Structure 1
Amino acid sequence: MANSASTAWTILRISMEERLVYRGDFMLGTLMRFLPIVTQIFLWAAVFSAIEASATGNATIAGYRYHDMVAYYLLTMLSRAFSSMPGLASGITREIRSGTIKRFLVQPVDMLFFLFLYRAAHKLVYYAVAVIPFALVFYLCRGFFVETPHGWVWAAYLASLLLAFLLGFFLEATIGMLGFWFLEVSSLLFVYMLLNFFFSGHMFPIDMLPQPWATTVKLIPLQFLAYFPAAVFLGKVQGAALLEGLAAQAAWTLAFFFFARWAWQRGSRRYSAFGG
């Protein structure tokens, strides 16, 4: 146990040091990612103004008012910062094709364990550097957050973000492991990223989909990568539905943990590498 903890700390520390050296662009890059929010603010202002002009009272779309909609997009960007794993699946498939993955077969370091610590270091460094632009943007847009979580809802929101990170990691790791069976998975990754962009709620709230599509999309795990944490914060999911949502998010996370572990065990047994 002590040796495992020491190994984990060494990998995490070195990975964090590596990123602190060359990832000073995290701060500027994060600020630039928020620029599309300006377009969203003007777009939805025009949409809701047109609705209010033709109706009486506060305009709503799928239960979202104007300030809710803008706040939702800000929150989904925060959710995606936790759940997105750029280059994880493609990196695994590239190592399988190049043969460099054999280092995990001959060295006493589990690949999933190593990659998990590597990504955890990435997120820790990212938020340590990007906390300033995040704080700046949310402060400037604080007027859109009319209601904020209180009490145990804060704990539920933070839990949803943590589970989003875990789900995003194990889901993409599972896809990357398909490289053991297919020589080329770039097309599959493209399809996955496209579906992820739409059905995670990053492009628009899933509530806006007509039935039965809204219910169907909420049955798949992608909603937990962006939509669900934002919905928890905005109070769109409450009471028993909130507990059920967290349980479903945890269940999907556990399922993909076993999928990734199973794919690694089966894939490594059928894998062959040649050369020095």
Structure 2
Amino acid sequence: MYARVLTWWTILRICIEERLVYRGDFVLGTLMRFLPIVTQVFLWTAVFQSMGEGTIRGWTRNDVIAYYLLTMVARAFSSMPGLASGIAQQIRDGEIKKFLIQPIDLIGFLLLARIAHKLVYYGVAIGPFALVFYLCRDYFTAGWPPVEVIAAFVLSLAMAFLLGFFLEAAMGMVGFWFLEVSSLLFVYMLFNFFFSGHMFPLDFLTDFLPGWLQPIAHYQPLQYLAYFPAAVFLQKITGPELIEGLLVQAAWVVVFAVACRVALKRGFRRYSGYGG
């Protein structure tokens, strides 16, 4: 057990060191990511003024702008750029063979690499995040939420990371059967952008979805990548609904973790590697 823990700690440490060396663009990249918030301020100010209403389904203009800031935080946790395509490429190029002959688990290795990436990212980008949120503090009209809400928010972010990882890793495992997953990823990103709440709060969809689709939309997994953590922080989801949301999010993490592991196991059984 000690040897296994030492092995995984060594892998994590090396991954962190690698990212500290070549990812000096985190600070600039983080600041550039927040630039679109300027357009959101003008857009939603115009939307609320044109409707002549103080709120839209309980959301004020300040709530929506604060929501966009928080979804950027959530997306920074849950987004896994290059994960699925990288797995598919390793399968296609034959690099996946090393995980068949070496005592390192592919999923565990990739998970540690992503944890290292997020640790380095937030360690370097915490300054730009703090600056942007300080400049936009007036949009958070309710102030800081209670301690228990902050704890739920942090928990939802951690599970958003795990959900994003296992979901995209499972899609990458499709490469054992189809080799190329770019079309699948394109469709996924299209649905992800819309149903994760990255475009606007999912509460706004209620009036447009047919009745039979609303329960599906309420429990679909993509909302836990962006919408749910932001709504928790803004206290749009509270009480029993908050507990239910956390449990459903945890359930989706387990579902995709199992799916990822099963796909890897079955993929290795059908994989054929040739050459040196």
TM-score after normalising by structure 1? 0.96
Mapped to 1, the partners of 2:214 and 2:203 lie a distance apart of 6
Does 2:172 match 1:176?
A: yes
Cα displacement string for residues 122-176 of structure 1 (whole angstroms, at most 9, x for unaligned residues): 0000000110110000000000001232021111110000000000000000000
Mapped to 2, the partners of 1:215 and 1:119 lie a distance apart of 32
- Cα drift, residue 62 of structure 1: 2.0
CA RMSD of aligned residues (A): 1.0
Mapped to 2, the partners of 1:121 and 1:183 lie a distance apart of 27
Runs of 4+ in 1 over 3 A off after TM superposition: 211-215
Report the equivalent of 1:131: 126
SS at match of 1:181: helix
Q: What letter is aligned with 1:206?
A: L
- Cα drift, residue 214 of structure 1: 4.8
Structure 2: runs of 5+ lacking an equivalent:
none
Q: What letter is aligned with 1:109?
A: I
Report the equivalent of 1:9: 9
Aligned residues: 271
Mapped to 2, the partners of 1:218 and 1:115 lie a distance apart of 30
Q: What letter is aligned with 1:65?
A: T
Cα displacement string for residues 13-49 of structure 1 (whole angstroms, at most 9, x for unaligned residues): 1001000001010110010000110000011111112
Mapped to 2, the partners of 1:47 and 1:183 lie a distance apart of 45
SS at match of 1:86: coil
Mapped to 2, the partners of 1:165 and 1:29 lie a distance apart of 20
Report the equivalent of 1:260: 260
Mapped to 1, the partners of 2:185 and 2:149 lie a distance apart of 34
Conserved? CA contact 1:208–1:214, under 8 Å: no
Does 2:242 match 1:242?
A: yes
SS at match of 1:241: helix
- Cα drift, residue 218 of structure 1: 2.3
Q: What letter is aligned with 1:142?
A: R
TM-score after normalising by structure 2? 0.96
> How is 1:1-276 mapped onto 2 (pairs within 5 angstroms)?
1-52=1-52, 59-147=54-142, 148-209=144-205, 210=207, 211=209, 212=211, 213-276=213-276
Q: Percent sequence identity over matched residues?
A: 65
- Cα drift, residue 235 of structure 1: 0.8
- Cα drift, residue 219 of structure 1: 1.8
Q: What letter is aligned with 1:170?
A: F
Structure 1: runs of 5+ lacking an equivalent:
none
Mapped to 1, the partners of 2:37 and 2:218 lie a distance apart of 25
Q: What letter is aligned with 2:200?
A: F
